[in-house]
Amino acid sequence: FLERQLAKTGNSRLLPREGGWYAIIEISDAVPDEQRVLQLLEADNTLVHPGYFYDFSGEGFVVVSLLAPVETFQTGISRLIARFGR
């Protein structure tokens, strides 16, 4: 689901991973990570983590949990893409 949804955007991609309980999405735009996560939380009731929580030194990364129930995960990803995907 995540890969298919991100493929529909021109500015977002899933970073490669070998496993784990979260996914890292790179979003190419001018929105600072902190502003992005606060907008999602306040306007869309969607929680993601900024990349700097995981030692990314640059902007443009959000970390999403893969442990959420399927419907919750899909809704959150849809909200993220609706707000920041192009």
pTM: 0.91
For residue 12, the model assigns a pLDDT of: 96
For residue 18, the model assigns a pLDDT of: 82
Whole-number Å distance between alpha carbons of 60 and 12: 9
For residue 57, the model assigns a pLDDT of: 87
- Of residues 80 and 18, the one with the higher pLDDT is 80
Token pair in block for residue 42? 């306040």
What are 12-56's pLDDT values in tens digits?
999 998 888 999 999 999 999 999 999 999 999 999 999 999 999
Which pLDDT band holds residue 63 (cuts at 50, 70, 90)? very high
